[in-house]
Chain A
């Protein structure tokens, strides 16, 4: 492919998405370079989650284009598996497989989808569980873990596929306040290692701390964007100002 690291790893161009007659995205464009961390913020119903679900083709789009490493995502002939290997996703509701232990959850996709040898997969899975600070919980079932612990297993499970881009869809929204931090620390570690991260979040403090770039969406369009300092301190659009005055 013609993609190289000086070009955006994820390129979103004029994306339009409707659910029936309801237009959720009305032409959104974002470029993300490799190793960048971007946060998408905005009021609920502004299309943030829909946008990142379009990046790994969980939702289809009605117009525009999304490319990951130069490959069009919404192409009929796209090898979905190739895309899934490149893009990992973590959900608000964790969505761990409840009938499998933490370790099995992490091992399942590399074992069954990538068909890698079990010994390698297990070694990597144990390392990942250690990395998300859950040593000792390998054999616990999701039902026996707290929300924050489940979410960290979910992050390890996505990382086990060795993605180039990680999508985080309001991953702390369903958590108790005291467990939010442990998940954010895990994401921060990832960002520090150079993982390309796209986050939809309501954690403004966190966004300011880790993001390279912040996008504010409202009613299906990007209203304003910029580096955290200028975005939070010098927002110019009245909608951004109003939103920030409510959440900060």
Chain B
């Protein structure tokens, strides 16, 4: 079977960074880490980190320019920026689609987790626990390998390109986390809400739809946004299964420049892209959390 693993053409690029990168990236996945990072970083701290990135970039570039022999680091990064921006666009697209699918499935699964039917409840719980406790990268590999590249429905062939499989792969852990958030949000509401709706003649479905779910929204919003930031930071995983995004483009750029001194600035630059995108999200999450905490 074709293993869609894209390794750099130039073997000299291979040692070192790939094996190191894998475990580190998959470590970034669990929500707990994201929450810690988010609560640890204040806005000032974030700006400080960003400034440190830029200064180190500038310093490296200055050293290059002083030697005068080759194109400066910043000029090189600038040259590759359109490609990296396109790659990051894929990261954003994949994260949005995975989040959308994962959220819809997770909300449904979360509701099933509080079903009055014991069998449904247990199955939903098991599915949730299974995907919540699986490494994201392994789930990605499974989806890439198990989902066929096209599906035929009523005579029409629906292609399933790699990026779409990756979207599904990443939506599974999102689903599991959302399911847990949903269950928690529903169970955190006072039982009096169910009782009063019951005594007014609402059916269980009506109570869920009109009374319970609207009240879970504000409880779900902060963890949901946090999960989105964590998911976005996990999207470079898809480069490992051969889907184009910012990391694979960065590697391609490095391979074509073939300059060892570009290695660190390039990955710093990639980090900057993620930081600029994700940091405001975690800042907003923190603000929402504070606001809701005061209100309730």
A residues sitting closer than 8 Å to B (CB atoms) are 56, 58, 80-81, 84-85, 87-89, 91, 93, 95-99, 108-109, 112-114, 143, 154, 157-158, 161
Contacts and interface: CB of A to CB of B under 8 A. Distances in A.
Nearest to B210: A112
A88 to B, nearest CB: 7
A141 to B, nearest CB: 11
Contacts of A95: 190, 192-193, 195-196
A157 B202 CA distance: 13
Interface of B: 190, 192-193, 195-202, 206, 210-211, 214-215, 295
Contacts of A143: 295
Given A97-B193, A98-B215, A99-B215, A89 B199 contact: yes
Contacts of A108: 200, 210
B213 to A, nearest CB: 10
Nearest to B189: A98
Chain B contact surface mostly: helix
Nearest to A97: B211
Nearest to B195: A58
A115 B193 CA distance: 21
Nearest to B214: A99
B199 A84 contact: yes
A110 B63 CA distance: 76
A163 to B, nearest CB: 10
B192 A91 contact: yes
Contact of B202 (A89, A98, A109): A109
Contact of A84 (B190, B201, B210, B295): B201
A91 B200 contact: no
Contacts of B200: 84, 108-109, 113, 157-158, 161
A99 B215 CA distance: 7
A113 B206 contact: yes
A88 B199 contact: yes
Contacts of B197: 97
Contacts of A97: 193, 196-197, 211, 215
Contact of B192 (A93, A109, A112): A93
9 contacts: A56-B199, A58-B195, A84-B198, A89-B199, A91-B192, A93-B190, A96-B196, A97-B215, A143-B295
B76 to A, nearest CB: 54
A93 B191 CA distance: 11
B199 A58 contact: yes
A7 B283 CA distance: 66
Given A97-B211, A98-B215, A108-B210, A113 B193 contact: no
Nearest to A58: B195
* Interchain residue pairs A-B with the least CB separation, the first 9: A84-B201, A95-B196, A95-B192, A109-B200, A113-B201, A89-B199, A99-B214, A93-B192, A81-B201
Contacts of A80: 201
Contacts of A154: 196
B244 to A, nearest CB: 44
A89 B196 CA distance: 8
Contacts of A93: 190, 192
A98 B199 CA distance: 17
A108 B206 CA distance: 11
A108 B196 CA distance: 12
B159 to A, nearest CB: 43
B218 to A, nearest CB: 9
A123 B202 CA distance: 21
A143 B196 CA distance: 17
A235 to B, nearest CB: 33
